[in-house]
A and B are shown apart, each in its own frame.
Chain A
Amino acid sequence: MIAIIDYGAGNIFSVQNALDSINAEYILTNDENIIRKSDGIILPGVGAFKAAMDKLNSSGLVPVILEQAKQKPFLGICLGMQMLFEKSYEFGECKGLGLLKGYVDLIEEKDLIVPHMGWNKLEISQNCRLLDNIGENPYVYFVHSYKAFCDDDVLYAYCEYGSSVPALVSDGKFVFGAQFHPEKSGNTGLKILSNFVDMIGECK
């Protein structure tokens, strides 16, 4: 059973539809006992970093997230991915979950259309379970104005937009973050989600 963390800042409908279509079991929850008992966790998120972190902090779920992300597969999507990092500079400095080393800041190249919105090609820099059998350089759907700045060791896939944009990050263990929306990335996205579900099965 996957726990989708419900803290009021998520793109939960699309994520639920995508999980339904691959027959994955999930529960939308803000109950820390359910999160502890789950086999895997998804942290969705849209909107502004600070607003979402504020909601997550006031939900009281941060300690259980930090504890459980070290024990079972954990996937942050879009803003949920950005929140895995130490901090963001969106509307002033704001502390993140700190599960991955790095920070989040504006996409600022000159003459670039922002938000980075649409389908961009994944360049895989390290193999990982989530990227199994997705083909070479598939397109996935992005929509964001801020991006992660991180070291190569946590970077598993990126795309080119002005410069390199981290697309899939991981601590190499249980923590994963997708800047793109797997739930909106057609068959490629569904494959990535079902890889995550398979990984959960293998880790049980």
Chain B
Amino acid sequence: MLAKRIIPCLDVRNGKVVKGVNFEGVKDIGDPVQCAYEYNLQGADELVFYDITASHEGRGLFLDVVEQTAKKVFVPLCVGGGVSSVEDFRKTLRAGADKVSINSSAVKNPQLISDAAAIFGSQCVVVGIDAKRDGMGGFTVYINGGRLDMKRDLVEWVKEVERRGAGEICLNSIDTDGVRGGFDIEMLNAVVSSVRIPVIASGGAGKLSDFADVFKKTNCSAALAASLFHFGELTVSQVKDDCRKNGIEMR
């Protein structure tokens, strides 16, 4: 049976992990390559690197990080942040990424999904989506890190994303992100039931049981978390053990 995936996400600025990571016995590792390696040892099923650098130089440093990681870690590597063209896709894949995640750039230019899928294959096109309740029973899509409401219906958008050839969706709920009260089950179910492609749950993990919970209550394929793992509150292996105890298939 296909295992559910646990995915740690690392935010990188100017080639360094933004918040640093406290691993057991090792304090504040700022080196993303080493962080990725540690997560790999903990059993991470995939890794996400997110570039929050604004500058051109930072971008170069970021791709170096991706390249160094891809030489050391042999699990899928998804890379996002600042990708807005086919050429950006090419550069990112050349650095050794297996998947490229696009978010605002896909909303502004949906053709990018179709072009990238046609050229590089659907398997490497991940569309990240930030969404929020619209107060009328639905959800709308936001861009620019959740700051700008595009007044675009979430369910319609995920259907378009799938139709254009994306291989996977990473759904981040703005309503639950940072609240640490668990993943947004309702929003995830609205998306999972509208598409056939895999959906990654993001935003809201605050405790161990949130992971088993999201896999029991939704048919999402993976769960992603950043700060929970960053601060060493939970390890990937603890999360996977707890899911296993709850009868969820894990690698």
Contact B96 A14 (CB under 8 A): yes
At the interface, yes or no: B36 with Cβ under 8 Å from chain A? Answer: no
B173 to nearest A CB, angstroms?
20
At the interface, yes or no: B30 with Cβ under 8 Å from chain A? Answer: no
Give which listed residue, A17, A21, A116, contacts B2 with CB less than 8 A: A116
Contact bitstring A161-190, B, C-beta under 8 A = 1, else 0: 100000000000000000000011111011
At the interface, yes or no: A46 with Cβ under 8 Å from chain B? Answer: yes
Contact A21 B121 (CB under 8 A): no
Q: Of residues 65 to 94 in B, which have CB atoms within 8 Å of A's CB atoms?
A: 70-72, 74-76, 93-94
Contact A184 B198 (CB under 8 A): no
Give which listed residue, A20, A117, A120, A185, contacts B123 with CB less than 8 A: A117
Give which listed residue, B3, B5, B76, contacts A184 with CB less than 8 A: B76
A-B pair count, CB < 8 Å, reads 91
Contact A118 B96 (CB under 8 A): no
> Given known contacts A119-B45, A119-B251, is B74 in contact with A184 (CB within 8 Å)?
yes
Contact B5 A115 (CB under 8 A): no
Contact bitstring B120-137, A, C-beta under 8 A = 1, else 0: 111110000000000000
Give which listed residue, A14, A115, A118, A121, contacts B98 with CB less than 8 A: A14
CA distance A121 to B196 in the complex (A): 22
Contact A143 B123 (CB under 8 A): yes
Q: Of residues 61 to 108 in A, which have CB atoms within 8 Å of B's CB atoms?
A: none
At the interface, yes or no: B184 with Cβ under 8 Å from chain A? Answer: no
